[in-house]
A and B are shown apart, each in its own frame.
Chain A
Amino acid sequence: MAAFKHKEPRQASGLMPRSQMPLRTLMIAMTVMCYLACLAIGALVLITRAVNDWSSDIAGEVTVQIRPTDNIKMSDKLKIIADILDKTAGVSSYKILDTKAGAKLLEPWLGNADILEQLPVPRLVAVSIDQKKLPDFDKLGAELKSQVIGASLDTHRRWQAELTRMGTSLVRLGVGVLILITVSAIALVIFASRTALDANRQVVEVLHLVGASDPFIARQVQWQFLKAGLQSGLIGVLVGMATFILLGISSGGPASSGLADASYGLLIGTLEVTSVTYLLFLLVPIVATLLCLVAARLAILRILSNAI
């Protein structure tokens, strides 16, 4: 008998041939899914932040509007209003806007400010509210109405409600998009699992015949899907983060305002915002990995249960 000493390879070969796995296609599709998920999450954070900021801005201020009347001087009306506001608990400060400022507000709709100054434009008082100790708006409105003819209180509640409604709808839309992405990703993994088993039908049959159980065979395949999910998730998130930074930089960077500033601030900004963003972005590869692992395992076990 020939003297023969076999050296065990450092790592035994995988029982499923890797080259026949449709993993590259799955990885590309999963990377796109993770990227889209990242964009949806970023958009959700931006919308939530914007709605919160706008709501708190609106909620922190009310406006007293005074229509000019023939019999009482505007200055007398403003004096009474100032007295009432001084006595009202919960009013932090107020600012009486002069005629020019009032006219300027109407300029976008009515045109030249010089002509507006000659028209009987209502005067406005911007009132800042103590958010911790809100005044009784109904009582304040009634008092202003009874003591000053033509005065009315605008609490911006209608706007606030509209804004909240719009924000909630957009958040629901974002969550809906995330759910669709997840469902599509699950369908992709199931399809890839089926293709992987079809491509390795003979290997699966041999494994069954030498006594491999269905969970054993599923284990041989699922770890490759797990790796594909993790890699796709990481690449998708990195590209997603780069997109938000590029969006910020290309539109003027942090010094600018609007979407550019908000996009930039998602990742490079105050800890309060960035921690939420990074945490949510970190969830993408974790969810992608778990999704690949669980969906592939369940799909494989289901397919194998119909095999010999």
Chain B
Amino acid sequence: MNRPSPIVSLQNIGLRYGKGREVLRDINLDLEPGSFHFLTGPSGAGKTSLLRLLFLTKKPTRGLISMFGKDMATLSRRNMPKIRRRIGVVFQDFRLLDHLTTYENIALPLRVAGQKPKDYRDNVVELLNWVGLADYADVYPPVLSGGEKQRVAIARAVITQPDLLLADEPTGNVDPAMALRLLRLFAELNKFGTTIVIATHDSHLIAKANRPVLLLNDGQLDYN
């Protein structure tokens, strides 16, 4: 049986900031559609840098990145939004828009994609309920706690049911019960075909999920 072509392929990737040493070295990685990986490693190992490459806010200093069958080095700027709409991102620092309500923050990817409010209202409301923020729909992020902000960020990342979900410490600010609940949400999404990469230090979460782990150590990647 033929193996499905990877949704993300990194070949001999190297990344350095300015004239400093390489923070990522010789990274080779294929993510198959529907896979679920944890990305872990000590602080400063390059997890966030690797995620930045994957959500296209950084270009590698060497090597090739291919996503959804397209070479990112030759992808035109005009076609970049189409690729980004297939990727859901959860940032460590949430990156919510403070002038939009919780509801509007979650609906943002749909609004950007050109969907009409009446078409996405039910989906957003359902997700608000799922992450336990139904009562905070009209609240602005500055008054939310860290955990609540994190849940909004996760809801915004999954609202479009992306093909690829990249999450940087998505459970860092929530209690263990909520962390498990969010893990179930990721597993649910994965069941429907979303490829998931979660960068985390949370060894309990990794153990609970029982999924393959990508271990980054001093800029180099090991499969575990």
Interface residues, chain A, CB within 8 Å of chain B? 1-2, 4-6, 8, 12-13, 15, 17, 19, 202-203, 205-214, 216, 305, 308
Beta-carbon contact of A210 and B99 below 8 Å: no
Given the complex, which residues of A lie within 8 Å of B97, measured CB to CB?
A: 15, 17, 203, 206
B37-63 interface code vs A (CB 8 A; 1 in, 0 out): 000000000000000000111100000
In the complex, A144 Cα to B122 Cα: how many Å? 99
Beta-carbon contact of B129 and A6 below 8 Å: no
In the complex, A48 Cα to B135 Cα: how many Å? 69
Beta-carbon contact of A209 and B55 below 8 Å: yes
Beta-carbon contact of B121 and A6 below 8 Å: yes
Beta-carbon contact of A308 and B56 below 8 Å: yes
**Chain A, residue nearest B102 (CB):** A6
In the complex, A213 Cα to B101 Cα: how many Å? 22
Most chain B CB inside 10 Å of its own CB: which residue of A15, A211, A213: A211
**Chain B, residue nearest A2 (CB):** B134
Query: Chain A interface secondary structure, helix, strand, loop or mixed?
Result: loop
B77-100 residues with Cβ-Cβ distance < 8 A to A are 77-78, 81-82, 84-85, 89, 95, 97-100
Given the complex, which residues of A lie within 8 Å of B130, measured CB to CB?
A: 1
Given the complex, which residues of B lie within 8 Å of A206, measured CB to CB?
A: 95, 97, 108
- Given A1-B129, A5-B125, A210:B156 Cβ within 8 A: yes
17 contacts between A and B (CB under 8 A): A2-B129, A4-B129, A4-B134, A4-B135, A6-B103, A6-B124, A12-B117, A13-B104, A15-B111, A19-B99, A202-B95, A209-B55, A209-B57, A210-B89, A211-B81, A213-B81, A308-B58
In the complex, A210 Cα to B98 Cα: how many Å? 16
**Chain A, residue nearest B56 (CB):** A308
Beta-carbon contact of B89 and A209 below 8 Å: yes
In the complex, A207 Cα to B84 Cα: how many Å? 10
Beta-carbon contact of A208 and B134 below 8 Å: no
Beta-carbon contact of A216 and B95 below 8 Å: no
Given the complex, which residues of A lie within 8 Å of B198, measured CB to CB?
A: none
Beta-carbon contact of B125 and A4 below 8 Å: yes
B144 CB–A CB distance under 8 Å: no
**Chain B, residue nearest A211 (CB):** B85
Interface size on B, residues (CB 8 A): 37
B128 CB–A CB distance under 8 Å: yes
Given the complex, which residues of B lie within 8 Å of A308, measured CB to CB?
A: 56-58
In the complex, A179 Cα to B104 Cα: how many Å? 44
B21 CB–A CB distance under 8 Å: no
Beta-carbon contact of A4 and B95 below 8 Å: no
Beta-carbon contact of A8 and B134 below 8 Å: no
Given the complex, which residues of A lie within 8 Å of B98, measured CB to CB?
A: 17
Give the Cβ gap from B75 to chain A, nearest Cβ, in Å: 13
**Chain A, residue nearest B109 (CB):** A210
- Given A202-B95, A203-B97, A208:B84 Cβ within 8 A: yes
Q: 4 more A-B contacts (CB under 8 A) besides A211-B113, A213-B81?
A: A6-B124, A8-B117, A13-B104, A17-B99
In the complex, A305 Cα to B76 Cα: how many Å? 11
Pick the residue among B108, B109, B117, B137 that contacts A4 (CB under 8 A). Answer: B137
**Chain B, residue nearest A203 (CB):** B97
Give the Cβ gap from A134 to chain B, nearest Cβ, in Å: 65
Given the complex, which residues of B lie within 8 Å of A4, measured CB to CB?
A: 125, 128-129, 134-135, 137
In the complex, A96 Cα to B125 Cα: how many Å? 97
Give the Cβ gap from B107 to chain A, nearest Cβ, in Å: 9
In the complex, A206 Cα to B98 Cα: how many Å? 12
Give the Cβ gap from A206 to chain B, nearest Cβ, in Å: 5
In the complex, A236 Cα to B56 Cα: how many Å? 45
Given the complex, which residues of A lie within 8 Å of B85, measured CB to CB?
A: 210-211
Beta-carbon contact of A6 and B95 below 8 Å: no
Most chain B CB inside 10 Å of its own CB: which residue of A202, A206, A210, A214: A210
- Given A209-B57, A211-B112, A6:B125 Cβ within 8 A: yes
Beta-carbon contact of B78 and A211 below 8 Å: no
**Chain A, residue nearest B82 (CB):** A211
Given the complex, which residues of A lie within 8 Å of B124, measured CB to CB?
A: 6
Pick the residue among A6, A8, A207, A305 that contacts B77 (CB under 8 A). Answer: A305
B118 CB–A CB distance under 8 Å: yes
**Chain A, residue nearest B156 (CB):** A210
Given the complex, which residues of A lie within 8 Å of B99, measured CB to CB?
A: 13, 17, 19
Most chain A CB inside 10 Å of its own CB: which residue of B56, B85, B89, B112: B112
